[in-house]
Structure 1
Amino acid sequence: MSEGVWKCSGGGRLLNIVGVGICEGQITERASKLISRAEVVFGSRRALMLASKFISGEFVEIKKFEDETYREIEKLAEKRNVVVLSTGDPMVAGLGKRLKGNVEPGISSVQLALARLKEDLCSTVVIDAHARKAEDELELIERRNLLILADRGFDPSLLGKRRAALIEDICGNERISFGRAEELRISSDYSIVFVWK
């Protein structure tokens, strides 16, 4: 298999899942080429906006992120060159594991948050708590830094009195606050909670 090329089963065309970063200007040169060569580009409204200057073919906003939608995209990719855009990095709580195709990485909110806090990913545990409960994972990680991809439904008080930072709407109306985890109040569905060991 050539670099950057994933053939769909049945000898079809191409399917690439491409990370477009979180902020404007974070699309890599390689990702921009994959996007510009695509006959059809799928993505959320935000992902399509971030990649708009590179899209030369058709584009379709994904409104329902579910298995049936993914199957339809894979079927189309048997006949046409298709790119699916994923905000951030497709393999960090993104679309990379949901579709069968080549994954082109992007800059994730995890990377941006760690850069803002000057913390090393290798000493951090990352948990995706978007629209799910994460209590079981939280009990396992008292000796490591912890980064949680969170939404308004996540309750930081589960983390107790540990020193923490809350980053909301990274690259948008970005806000960073510090305090004890139990004191944090999440007001955005695009939030990251970082807890020091």
Structure 2
Amino acid sequence: MSRAPLTVVGIGADGWNGLCEAARAAVLSAELIVGSERQLALVPPTAAVRRPWPTPIDGLVEELVAGRAGPVCILSSGDPMLHGIGATLARRIDRDRLTVHPHPSAFAFACARLGWPSAETELVSAVARPVEALARLLQPGRRVIVYVAGEQGAREVARVLRERGFGPSRLVVLEQLGGPDERIVDSTAEEWGERSVRTLHAVAVECRAAPGTSPLACTPGLRDSAYENDGLLTKQEVRAITLAVLAPMPGELLWDVGAGSGSIAIEWLRAEATARAIAVEARADRAERAVRNARVLGVPTIEVVCGKAPRALVGLDRPDAVFVGGGLTTPGLLDSCWRELRPGGRIVANAVTLEGEQVLQAACAAHGGRLVRIAVSRAEPVGGFTSWRPQLPVVQWSARKEGE
């Protein structure tokens, strides 16, 4: 039996009056209407069954994907394909089952009200996600629209800005955009304090750093002091080279094996917003530290697995790229990583010991690729003078897995 088509209707604070004729027809002809309580109250009474979204929404999403008899209309805030249920369904069902009627998004409204070119403005969704995701984009001069949930949304955005040295940033709270009760409040993160606002709002941020703040770019090679660590950290110069070889691509998954402070996985995610990363670390204290580093540096979506590889790798999604920075001499570890790597995927492993170097030489002989020796020296004081202090040399093996 064919599965029922789904129609997603974007609706804004202007309610029924803001819908086009096709969107209104989809609502009026539906046998089932799904939406939040607020959205359902915006459309007129019909004979349709109305179902508010549960918390969490996953069960109802699965039911919709599976299909049911009769026309189904799903209400969504603004543009359903911009961090909305339309995008979620589009990843799960055939294109011919899905019809979307978009409404101007809060992002579009915010840019219009502020006079910010949309193409030069970033969007961050902190709905059902930690607001710390904003931290990745905190560079002076950047403009960001943040989607938030609940009355504390603006307060949480202001907190993240202050904690990371961006208290002087302009912070604009935009409530009920496009509706009759629209309100815009212009402030700064420092001045906002603990104020709460009405639930339906977005936050615009124009980033300004406080004096003494050293901003962090999204490019690989953050300074070592950006990380909380116990010494087990891939150093800045080697980290930059390693990320360049790993080459993060859209939607790809990285395994960071022997993650330590999580720096490789974190910078993989900072470099490519749509990528995924799993950091595998045997020690619980280091795994917890990697989680903290990820939140501070704006990539709270990292998945941290506490366990000893290769056993801890069992059951994980197959990676598009693998970095091995710790536990290299563990029997079977490198073989397991190579075996699970997707065809066309990249693997990079770094060694600082002779024993680790031998493992990499054997891997290169078996799978090809290349070996590179990285030697870094830093100028440091020696008495009243300055001299070069060499870091431990790193041998790096990298290879691409051909198709199976």
TM-score, length of structure 1 as denominator length: 0.79
Amino acid of the structure 2 residue aligned with 1:187: V
**1:134 aligned onto 2:131:** yes
Q: 3-state DSSP class of the match of 2:42? A: helix
Farther-moved stretch of structure 1 (82-91 vs 177-186): 177-186
Deviation at 1:113, TM superposition (A): 2.1
| 1:181-196 equivalence runs, <5 A | 181-184=189-192, 185-196=195-206
Deviation at 1:194, TM superposition (A): 0.8
Q: 3-state DSSP class of the match of 2:130? A: coil
Q: Larger helix proportion, structure 1 or 2?
A: 2
**Contact 1:20–1:51 at 8 Å: present in 2 too?**
no
Residue of structure 1 aligned with 2:172, choices 161, 165, 185: 165
Deviation at 1:114, TM superposition (A): 2.2
Residues 90-127 of structure 1, C-alpha deviation per residue, up to 9 Å, x if partnerless? 12232113334333212222222222223221111011
**2:8 aligned partner:** 17
| 1:97-108 equivalence runs, <5 A | 97-99=87-89, 100=93, 101-108=98-105
Deviation at 1:178, TM superposition (A): 1.2
Residue of structure 1 aligned with 2:21, choices 14, 29, 33: 29
Residues 20-42 of structure 1, C-alpha deviation per residue, up to 9 Å, x if partnerless? 22322211222112222222221
Query: How many angstroms apart in 2 are the aligned matches of 1:65 and 1:35?
Result: 24
**1:3 aligned partner:** none
**1:44 aligned onto 2:36:** yes
**Contact 2:32–2:49 at 8 Å: present in 1 too?**
yes
Q: 3-state DSSP class of the match of 1:139? A: helix
**1:6 aligned partner:** none
Query: How many angstroms apart in 1 are the aligned matches of 2:32 and 2:117?
Result: 37
Residues 149-186 of structure 1, C-alpha deviation per residue, up to 9 Å, x if partnerless? 12415231433212221123433643321122222234
**1:7 aligned partner:** none
**What root-mean-square deviation, in Å, do the aligned CA atoms of Structure 1 and Structure 2 show?**
2.4
**Contact 1:22–1:108 at 8 Å: present in 2 too?**
no
**Contact 1:169–1:175 at 8 Å: present in 2 too?**
yes
Deviation at 1:69, TM superposition (A): 1.1
Residues 56-107 of structure 1, C-alpha deviation per residue, up to 9 Å, x if partnerless? 53333333342111122333x3422111111222122321133343332122
Name stretches of at least 5 consecutive residues in structure 2 with no aligned partner: 208-404
Q: How many residues align?
A: 186
Amino acid of the structure 2 residue aligned with 1:49: A
**Contact 2:158–2:171 at 8 Å: present in 1 too?**
no
**2:147 aligned partner:** 149
Deviation at 1:128, TM superposition (A): 0.9
| 1:81-96 equivalence runs, <5 A | 81-96=71-86
* 1:81–1:177 CA distance, 2 compared to 1 (3 A): same
Percent identity of paired positions between Structure 1 and Structure 2: 28
Amino acid of the structure 1 residue aligned with 2:172: A
Q: 3-state DSSP class of the match of 1:114? A: helix
Query: How many angstroms apart in 2 are the aligned matches of 1:140 and 1:114?
Result: 17
Q: 3-state DSSP class of the match of 1:50? A: coil
**1:175 aligned partner:** 183
TM-score, length of structure 2 as denominator length: 0.42
Amino acid of the structure 2 residue aligned with 1:120: P
Provide runs of 4+ in structure 1 moved above 4 Å.
none
